[in-house]
Amino acid sequence: MFTLLDTIFLFILLLSIVYFLTLLITSFYHLRMSRPPNCSDTPAVSILKPLKGLDHHLEDNLRSFFLLDYPKYELIFGVSDEKDPAVAVVQNLQQEFPQISSRLIIDSTETGLNPKINNLQNMSCYARFSYFLISDSNIRVTPGYLKDLMAHMQISGTGLVTSTIRGRIGSRVGSVLESLHLNAFIAPNVFAINNLIKLPISIGKSMLFRKEEFNRLGGFRAYRNLLAEDHLIGTGMKSLGLKVRTSPLPIDNINGNWNITNFMSRHLRWAKLRKNLNEFYYMAELLSNPIPLAMIYAFIRWELIAFQMMLAVILIKMLIDIIIIRLLKSDIRWFQYLFIPIKDLLIGFIWFVPHFSRKVSWRGNTFKISRNTQLIPIMKG
């Protein structure tokens, strides 16, 4: 007998599949149909690289920035502790590339609760140029990366340019899960949200903007107690009447040594962040994960047709994910696609957690997160 519950679940599953087909179309357009603009001007850029500890392949990641094909730029690395192992990595690269302007800032000054912003604020005092590029330590780029960003920045009305993030796998299961999620969920959702909803999405792993306009938003100090500083910088640019653009040129997010705990920890934090930014959009994320919904429906219905439908949803979702991942030219191997349902089940579990917990752990600190991702310290003891 066809019940109201059947109608609700089937309607949600249908919407979810339609949504993923939309992601596929927007991804194809963004990655294969859009033409990169010409870079007619190459103003000098200050690249700010906040560091903490040894990310996997850190030296290779940082070396890619010394190899940029760009006339004039400076690299500013920042750590809060002189004993940080990243210090030696930076110093070795500075000796290897003495022709590239670079400096290492060791400063433990804290202007707020966000440790990344503290680091960026300390580095920014030494930046000489009128363009800032923020880039995380686990990012690896090609020589044409900065020219590509600057070409998009020169489009009239642009306030910030971010990048398409492509996950690169390692030998551990956590890195496979992370790469699958970055490639098949994060990247296509950024394309769709930018193109369809016109909501500015800026990814803190790679953001280029003008210092002058950033200062109008209050500079780094304005974001010192906020967790989602990257997204809020993007919305700030929109409030100035400027656009946030996403370059289709992928940059690589290196997660070679990640385990499942790393994967769960990051996405628990990101889920709590998104829920406290916009409740409506967070609830709508249910449509972005049809596999757990199909499984819940099958076990509630407990009939053959329901399990057949669950299998169909899994296969359709996996097929769409695989096509998007191949559009990004990721290095994921064919057998690792079998982790897609497992990854989606974990993400489905994570989705519920922010409804019951606001605590986040990040870079050795523990906070409660409130509206607009305001950070509230949790005292130990």
Q: The domain at 36-261 falls in which architecture?
A: Alpha-Beta Complex (3.90)
Helix (H) or strand (E) run with residue 12 in it: helix 4-28
Q: Are 331 and 50 in contact (CB under 8 A)?
A: no
Q: Are 122 and 109 in contact (CB under 8 A)?
A: yes
Q: Which residues contact 37 (CB under 8 A, 6 or more apart)?
A: 151, 152, 154, 155
- Per-residue tens of pLDDT for the chain, all 381 residues: 567 777 888 888 888 888 888 888 888 888 887 777 777 789 999 999 999 998 888 999 999 999 999 999 999 999 999 999 999 999 999 999 999 999 999 999 999 999 999 999 999 999 999 999 999 999 999 999 999 999 999 999 999 999 999 998 777 899 999 999 999 999 998 888 877 777 888 999 999 999 999 999 999 999 999 999 999 999 999 999 999 999 999 999 998 778 899 899 999 999 999 999 888 888 888 888 889 988 998 898 888 888 998 999 999 999 999 999 999 998 888 899 999 999 999 999 999 999 999 898 877 778 899 988 999 987 655
**Which residue in 232, 207, 200 sits closest to 218, CA to CA?**
232
Rounded-to-integer distance, Cα 251 and Cα 168, Å: 10
Q: Where in the chain is the domain with CATH 3.90.550.10?
A: 36-261
> Could you tell me how many helices (H) and strands (E) the chain has, helices first?
14, 11
Q: Token match 């994320």: residue?
A: 285
Strand order from edge to edge, sheet including 243-254: 101-106, 73-79, 45-50, 131-135, 206-210, 158-168, 243-254, 139-140
Q: Tally the residues of the chain.
A: 381
**Which residue in 42, 115, 112, 125 sits closest to 76, CA to CA?**
125
Rounded-to-integer distance, Cα 133 and Cα 160, Å: 10
